[in-house]
Structure 1
Amino acid sequence: MIQIVYMFLVLHGVYSANILYIAPLGSPSHYLWNKVLALELVATGHNVTMLTHDYEKKDVLTNYTVITIEDFYEHTSKHFYIEDVILKGNTIQNILDLHDYAKLTCDYDFQSAGFQKLLNYPQDFKFDLIIFDITGPICLYGFISRFHNPPVIAITAFTLSPHLSYLFTNPLYTSYMPHFATTYSNKMTFLERTLNFIYTYFDIVLAMYISFPYQHQTAIVAFNAPLPDFVETHKNFSLFLINTDFAMDYPTPLLPNIIPVGGLQIQPLKPLSQDLENVFNHAEHGVIFFSLGTNINSKIFTDEDINTFLNVFSKLQEVVVWKFNDSLQNVPKNVFISKWLPQNDILGHPKTKLFITHCGRLSTQEAIYHAVPMVGIPYFIDQNENMARLINKGVAVYLNNKHFTFGNIHGAITEVLRNPKYKYNIKKMSEKFKNYINSPLDRAVFWVEHVLAYGAPDYLNAPSRDMKFYKINNVDVFLFLLLCLLLLCYIFYCVLQISKIFFKQPKIKTN
């Protein structure tokens, strides 16, 4: 009996490990993605300590501890204006804004009580593993050294951005891998390929030579200790779990230690609240769900925009369920307003026929999973690229956020609702999204436990992680071959010149 239990533990890698989960990107939706993985690890029997900017009203389970970097969102609302980011709306500015947000985050976090609480853990406290969300700021890398360099798994609820692809020495082909802040497809024109090359390497240079060095210097002061170079730190990461799935994303090459877990956050459906259940029960012609996610406030709409939307909704036979941050007056009978709504459960309801969305990555994944076609209103960062992919796959219609009229709103909605191609296309896309031998969450937990059981899986690491850029790309080889070619040309030229001297024809005198 003891042998059977022992074999079960060995085969399944199930033992209670202490895991530090650092999620430094201030975004409620990204926290929810990370929380799903954290709670699944807790359910597996591990102790998880989460450092985040978000609050938990209570511990979900006894072995799940949340340390909150307090009042972060109140601070950023005063010093980082998302409306300005939206209005600027160009690729270079979006890249700069992301790095500015990382700088603001680091400067704030190092002054917080939450940071000090984790920093003041006993010096000999042992974490068996650190999971680090590297989507945004990385200044908290200092905790890796602080807790004696356990194995580290990098994760992101985002796509594989250029500078992260570069840091992990993943193949980076700008000819068919569009930057996330563009609207390019994977089949670009010459001009688009040129611009995409510029955007991609601007992102990389900004991260490597400005953002990361700044974060490294501020971290040295905050941790009051020498820290390894942050760029070099990535070489010691065991794995990188990324929120991509090729049913939704363009096909791109990935090294074996970069594991796609797209849609990890999608959970089994829960029953709707009684008020929502009543709304759905009375929706004879179906439901339209309207939400701009957690980062875009409804204040982005002018009064004229709101009245235009309400006017359009009043002419529809469907019921509209709208996540709106404030109260509204003169709401049509077929419109239900709420400040918070269970998005996954609403999208999974059989009566939901259309999703009006900002095209955030998590939202579009959930819509694809539940086969709900979309009207997209993208605003910034990756939302425009997500929108472009959805249009390319024939599952969504674009609605310009700078030009809301009755005609274009009503036209977009009715096009998706009345044209069967959108439902057909997204149904096929959904089937591909679900058709795996295991779920993305199971995949993520498997690899976390694999690292806990066996340590860093070095057999997955390409030699490129320890090579210089010029060696990875054979720059020295090309230069050598070019030099050889030039030398051969020179030798050939010299031979010609010599031959002219030795075989010079004598002049024939004429009388």
Structure 2
Amino acid sequence: MEIFSIWSSALVIVLCSPLIITVCHSGNVLVYPIEGSHWINMNILIEALHARGHNVTIVRSDKSWYIKEKSPHYNSITVSVEETLDEKFIKELIMQGIDIQRGKISVINFFRMQIQLSGSFSKAHRMVSKMAESIFKDSMLTKGLQESQYDLVLTDPCWGGGTLLANYLKLPLVYNVRWLPVGEGHFAIAPSPLSYIPITGTGFSDKMTFTERLRNMLFYWLMLFQDKYLVRPHYQDVCHQYLGTGVDFYSLMQAADLWLMRVDFVFEFPRPTMPNVVYMGGFQCKPAKPLPQDLEDFVQSSGEHGVIIMSMGSFVGELPRDLAEEIAAAFAELPQKIIWRHTGERPETLGNNTLLVQWMPQNDLLGHPKTRAFVAHGGTNGVQEAIYHGMPVLGIPLFFDQYDNLLRLKQRGGAEILDIGTLNKEIFLQALQEVLHEPSYRMNMQRLSRLHLDQPMKPLDLAMFWIEFVMRHKGAAHLRTESYRMPWYAYHSLDVIMVLLAAVFVILLTAVAIIRFLCCRACKRKIKSD
């Protein structure tokens, strides 16, 4: 019996050995992240890779304000830089944007600020390119990177440093992406007809009038201008210096093996896509966990009325004082309890029903059965979490893509949007009452939640599969189209069209010449006969 048991165990090990090898394969991943909320997303992928047995190394600057040097989930390479984007710079930029929307800046100052913002935008990418240049200049560092035998580079292409590094090391490239240095990621890789695909920032849906399509086209040209003259030259200089004079940065960016898109078509408007684009929208979402006891006690004290939560994202802990007073006064008139992430001065109009917190477990609160509505700025993470938990949203967009994100929820009947420029107590209270008491908002968000959850594989597991797929096969070149290698006139078949037009012109010219010749000959014969 003992001999049989030994042979049985041996047979099980032999039969299961391919599975064991597959599961236990440890990859070596180099990550080039970016700061802010983008790091929150990237860190989720890093933790998942670490949990699956992969070795993860991140590249960070010595002035990083979000990305810690030490972590149980990754090793780090710290690059010394002279300057970088900091929290103060970002927050000042946001507050300027809020002042513009609230009409507190004159027309002349508005245009002056737009010029300054464009300069800051260009400066930011110059700093990013300088960090990549610092890596390439350090021969010891580059030698260490090359000898580490990484399987791939995982990066957020909103900054171009990771793209440059992957191509310098000649490694497969995987994007954790929604944004490129300029514009939304799809525009660089997939056909994007401007007739029904809105440019982010326009605030348009996929159903545009003629005037909106005209404005959409103008916004697209503006995007191309920013890319060509404000952003790409910084990265192109590094390409010429370290990757070769004939290397085009935009083509390098398009040539990534895999694009892990942080959206899905429950959220995004339908549009053309490509084989190497994988949609992992909501990958950061998860079932709600129990709240800390003090927070749970506060939530339970709300009784049948429930609670409302408000957060304006990781960057905006406080609003202008007068605006915070209006919102606090509106909250004070509600029977619900309020949990508000607010790090600024306590509003004088704050009611006893409102709890101010420095931080909140947003995902767990959104999944709590007593939560009734979510007042949010419209960042991608918060919108996806609201969809996951089926929570109606009252949106107060502040900057970047937030209005466009909220518009997608509003188009599907799950949100209302307020303009911060006209926001006051009465407007805020009326909109919040509408979201709270009109059943269609919750019903529509719950329908979106069911659609989002009804898929064969969790988004995070899908992302892990495809990252490991690229590791196993040393890339995913078979999924890439050749469009990124084509000049623009060939991509749009302008050369073919010109040749065909020229052929038609020659044929018509020949036909006219023949007809003219025959007519002339007939006339000559007639003259002779006369």
Match of 1:363 in 2: 382
- After superposition, the C-alpha distances for 1:315-359 in whole angstroms (9 at most, x for unaligned) are 101111111122415431100101111111111111111111111
Equivalent residue for 2:253, pick from 214, 231, 234: 234
1:184-263 alignment, distance < 5 Å:
184-208=204-228, 210-217=230-237, 228-234=247-253, 236-263=255-282
Q: Secondary structure at the match of 2:359?
A: coil
CA RMSD in angstroms, aligned pairs only: 3.3
Q: Secondary structure at the match of 1:289?
A: strand
Q: Distance in 2 between matches of 1:107 and 1:37?
A: 24
Match of 1:501 in 2: 520
- After superposition, the C-alpha distances for 1:371-396 in whole angstroms (9 at most, x for unaligned) are 11111111221112112222211111
The normalised TM-score by structure 2 is 0.84
Q: Distance in 1 between matches of 2:450 and 2:141?
A: 43
C-alpha contact (below 8 Å) 2:280/2:463 kept by paired residues: yes
Cα drift, residue 120 of structure 1: 7.9
C-alpha contact (below 8 Å) 2:239/2:249 kept by paired residues: no
Match of 2:173 in 1: 152
Amino acid at match of 1:3: V
Amino acid at match of 1:364: V
Equivalent residue for 1:346, pick from 355, 361, 365: 365
- After superposition, the Cα gap between the structure-2 partners of 1:162 and 1:417, relative to the gap in structure 1 and judged at 3 Å, is same
Match of 1:387 in 2: 406
Cα drift, residue 93 of structure 1: 5.5
Q: Distance in 2 between matches of 1:157 and 1:178?
A: 15
Match of 1:134 in 2: 157
Q: Secondary structure at the match of 1:353?
A: strand
1:98-117 alignment, distance < 5 Å:
99-100=121-122, 102-103=124-125, 105-106=127-128, 109=131
Amino acid at match of 2:213: R
- After superposition, the C-alpha distances for 1:391-442 in whole angstroms (9 at most, x for unaligned) are 2111111111011222211110001111111111111111111111011100
C-alpha contact (below 8 Å) 1:175/1:188 kept by paired residues: yes
Match of 2:93 in 1: 81
1:231-310 alignment, distance < 5 Å:
231-234=250-253, 236-284=255-303, 285-298=305-318, 300-301=319-320, 303-310=321-328
Equivalent residue for 1:413, pick from 432, 457, 470: 432
Residue ranges of structure 1 left out of the alignment (5+ in a row)? none
C-alpha contact (below 8 Å) 1:371/1:426 kept by paired residues: yes
C-alpha contact (below 8 Å) 2:275/2:479 kept by paired residues: yes
Q: Distance in 1 between matches of 2:119 and 2:381?
A: 21
Amino acid at match of 2:94: I
C-alpha contact (below 8 Å) 2:258/2:277 kept by paired residues: yes
- After superposition, the Cα gap between the structure-2 partners of 1:202 and 1:124, relative to the gap in structure 1 and judged at 3 Å, is same
Q: Distance in 2 between matches of 1:188 and 1:464?
A: 28
Query: Which deviates more, 124-133 or 227-236?
Result: 227-236
Cα drift, residue 158 of structure 1: 4.6
Q: Distance in 1 between matches of 2:492 and 2:248?
A: 23
Amino acid at match of 1:6: S
C-alpha contact (below 8 Å) 2:70/2:76 kept by paired residues: yes
* Structure having greater relative contact order (Cα 8 Å, sep ≥ 6): 1
Cα drift, residue 489 of structure 1: 3.1
Cα drift, residue 55 of structure 1: 4.2
The number of residue pairs the alignment matches comes to: 495
C-alpha contact (below 8 Å) 1:287/1:318 kept by paired residues: yes
C-alpha contact (below 8 Å) 2:393/2:416 kept by paired residues: yes
Equivalent residue for 2:45, pick from 28, 32, 37: 37
Match of 2:25 in 1: 15
Match of 2:485 in 1: 466
Query: Which deviates more, 36-45 or 207-216?
Result: 207-216
- After superposition, the C-alpha distances for 1:11-70 in whole angstroms (9 at most, x for unaligned) are 44x41122111113x32x211111111100000000111234454668553x52245679
Cα drift, residue 164 of structure 1: 3.9
Equivalent residue for 1:181, pick from 185, 188, 201: 201
C-alpha contact (below 8 Å) 1:357/1:376 kept by paired residues: yes
Cα drift, residue 239 of structure 1: 0.8
